[in-house]
Structure 1
Amino acid sequence: MSKERARRRAEREAEQARQAALRAEREARLARRRGRVGRVTALLPRRPVRVAVQGGIMARRRRAQNGLVAVLFLIVQVIAWLLWSSWTARLGVLVLSVLFVPLFVTLVFDRRS
């Protein structure tokens, strides 16, 4: 009976030693890989810090309003481009649009009143 237990213990210990050797080889391979990756990434430029986009209801509303203003500005410019062939008229519409966009935004989207 004790010879049988000794044989099983020897088998268990041999299996544990084999598993430990495999684990040590895997860890050594992983350490070498991490070293290579670390050396390569040290040569690369750092990425800029990303700024998180606000997700609240006010931020979504502001983005929608800004998008609407931009689309309306582009529509006015396209209409002016199609209606007048004179560069002076097109430039005049552009200048007036740039001047009146802040006024439009204040009158339409101002929430203070």
Structure 2
Amino acid sequence: MSKERARRRAEREAEQARQAALRAERQARLARRRRLLERVTAPAAALLPRRPVRIAGQRGIIARRRRTQNGVVAVLFLIVQVIAWLLWSSWAARLGALLLSLLLVPVLVTVVFDRRS
């Protein structure tokens, strides 16, 4: 019986030694990574604030709807610009399409997405 206990104890100790070696290796790897990151970010540390400034995004159904609408407007604006660039080779026509789009986007957004009416 004592031989069996001794064998199990030896197995437990071997497993604990293996786990300790794995932990030590992991900690060494983490320390190397921290040192490397510190060397890379140290020159910029003087320029950046200590704690990152978090800007909380708006949440909720109205904010989600507004983000979706802005995305649709941006994609449509880009599609119009790409079509203008593909159709016309004249720089004046392309510039005119850009200026006209920039002037008409706020009007169309107001007409289509206005919730006051």
**Normalising TM by the smaller chain, what interval?**
0.5 to 0.7
The letter for the 1-side match of 2:81 is Q
The letter for the 2-side match of 1:99 is L
Matched, 1:95 2:102: no
The letter for the 2-side match of 1:68 is V
In 2: Cα distance, 1:49 partner to 1:56 partner: 22
Equivalent residue for 2:109? 105
Equivalent residue for 1:26? none
The letter for the 2-side match of 1:96 is L
Q: So what's the TM-score if we normalise by structure 1?
A: 0.60
Equivalent residue for 2:73? 69
In 1: Cα distance, 2:51 partner to 2:84 partner: 42
Q: Give structure 1 stretches of 5+ with no counterpart.
A: 1-39
Q: Give structure 2 stretches of 5+ with no counterpart.
A: 1-37
Q: CA deviation at 1:70?
A: 0.2
Equivalent residue for 2:84? 80
1:68 counterpart SS class: helix
The letter for the 1-side match of 2:97 is V
* Number of residue pairs aligned between Structure 1 and Structure 2: 74
Matched, 1:51 2:55: yes
The letter for the 2-side match of 1:62 is R
In our comparison, the structure showing a higher alpha carbon Rg is 1
Q: Please, what is the CA RMSD of the aligned residues?
A: 2.0
In 2: Cα distance, 1:93 partner to 1:47 partner: 45
Q: CA deviation at 1:48?
A: 3.8
Q: So what's the TM-score if we normalise by structure 2?
A: 0.58
